Structure 1
């Protein structure tokens, strides 16, 4: 009898303790070490080199930026943040103490006439990187061994690709003369527009070109502008009759004096 009473007492006490535990759950001991949280991944701004958490950075093309201003700017190494960087080996150093003061506008389409296919621009990048497959198209076999590059390519989609730093010399102008100055590659920036020169360029290409010129002019305020045909008239016709120089001048806001070959179609 006494044993039964004892068991009943213990059962009553257990019920009370369970109720107390549910109403007052145990708090973790201050002395017990907490589980370490994962450290925030830090990245570096490509433009200003400041370190910041990756969650707060602007990521683009495997690079990071701390602000929209730095993302859309030309950095101290001659690279634009919001361009796709596809580096060409076809480049070398500019002559000592020479900074670019000329922009040369070109057109290009690979294969010829295929610019209407917005997915064909990768052939141009391959060409500039010496990776063009000569078996992919009959025309590629003719040009696959040429060593050519340009600082920038504006695809039919409006996408901006940069292949060479503006501080370096790209191989885009060839034998050329600008107002009596030879070897235009030494002092120029080359911009290729995807197209054939006979077909009007796309609206987004003009927009991308205007944005690009605005960025370049902040670093190189003395820039003048020409077409490839202006500096190598016996060899080239680009950017061609479809490039609207008047529109270009109006939308960029550059002075007419910086367009020494005028605003007429040519």
Structure 2
């Protein structure tokens, strides 16, 4: 996978453009937010996340979908259980992943962040392939956007405490940060 900093799109990943984005305000891209998602909850490889981010989710397929049908959301990337990476929004555009949020006193994190969804739940361990893909993607993003330092990588729960819990206790932050440090060295 190779991020093109001029377009904000990655080569070598699946592209699944979402209509749920808009222009970023002027300023830097300086935060990486890690999320988790599965649709229906705790079911994997359904293709429903892609449909959800494209506003094509059939609400009659599962009772859970009725409660989220009105939402218009997206992330820049999704990493599935097998490590497959899908991109929905150019990194240069504002994806709608963080919602009401704050990082170091700065509100509206969508303005200056990139969102990566991991296919999973708060309580189920993530797969080795996901950690490998996340580490590779993170290094690409850090190379293109120097303001995304290791200290500026956080979970959705960190920027929306009390409202969001992801990526959850099953996400191994120590493993992820060690992999990033190993690749730096």
User: Is the pair's TM-score, using the shorter chain for normalization, greater than 0.5?
Assistant: yes
Q: For the residues of structure 2 that align with 1:159 and 1:243, how far apart are their CA atoms?
A: 18
Instruction: Specify the alignment match of 2:166 in structure 1.
Output: 238
Considering only aligned residues, what root-mean-square deviation do their CA atoms show, in Å? 1.0
Instruction: Specify the alignment match of 1:40 in structure 2.
Output: none
Q: For the residues of structure 1 that align with 2:124 and 2:2, how far apart are their CA atoms?
A: 31
Secondary structure at the counterpart of residue 142 of structure 1 = helix
TM-score of the two chains, using structure 1 as the length reference: 0.66
Secondary structure at the counterpart of residue 253 of structure 1 = helix
When Rg is computed on C-alpha atoms for both structures, the one with the higher figure is 1
Q: For the residues of structure 2 that align with 1:92 and 1:249, how far apart are their CA atoms?
A: 30
Instruction: Specify the alignment match of 1:79 in structure 2.
Output: 9
Is contact 1:99–1:167 with CA below 8 Å preserved after alignment? no
Is contact 2:28–2:147 with CA below 8 Å preserved after alignment? no
**Greater RCO between the two (CA within 8 Å, min separation 6)?**
2
Q: For the residues of structure 2 that align with 1:100 and 1:180, how far apart are their CA atoms?
A: 16
CA-to-aligned-CA distance 1:66-104 (integer Å, 9 cap, x gap): xxxxxx3211100000110100000000002x1210000
Is contact 1:108–1:196 with CA below 8 Å preserved after alignment? yes
How many residue pairs are counted as aligned between the two chains?
178
- 5+ unaligned residues in a row in structure 2: which ranges? none
- Following TM superposition, the consecutive aligned residue runs of length 4 or more in structure 1 with deviations greater than 3 angstroms are none
Q: For the residues of structure 2 that align with 1:193 and 1:110, how far apart are their CA atoms?
A: 12
- Is the counterpart of residue 165 in structure 1 residue 90 in structure 2? yes
Instruction: Specify the alignment match of 2:32 in structure 1.
Output: 103
- Is the counterpart of residue 145 in structure 1 residue 70 in structure 2? yes
CA-to-aligned-CA distance 1:34-92 (integer Å, 9 cap, x gap): xxxxxxxxxxxxxxxxxxxxxxxxxxxxxxxxxxxxxx321110000011010000000
TM-score of the two chains, using structure 2 as the length reference: 0.94
Is contact 2:40–2:64 with CA below 8 Å preserved after alignment? yes
- Is the counterpart of residue 156 in structure 1 residue 85 in structure 2? no
Instruction: Specify the alignment match of 1:196 in structure 2.
Output: 121
Secondary structure at the counterpart of residue 3 of structure 2 = coil
CA-to-aligned-CA distance 1:87-125 (integer Å, 9 cap, x gap): 0000000002x121000000001001112xxx31x1000
| The one of 42, 49, 60 aligned to 1:124 | 49
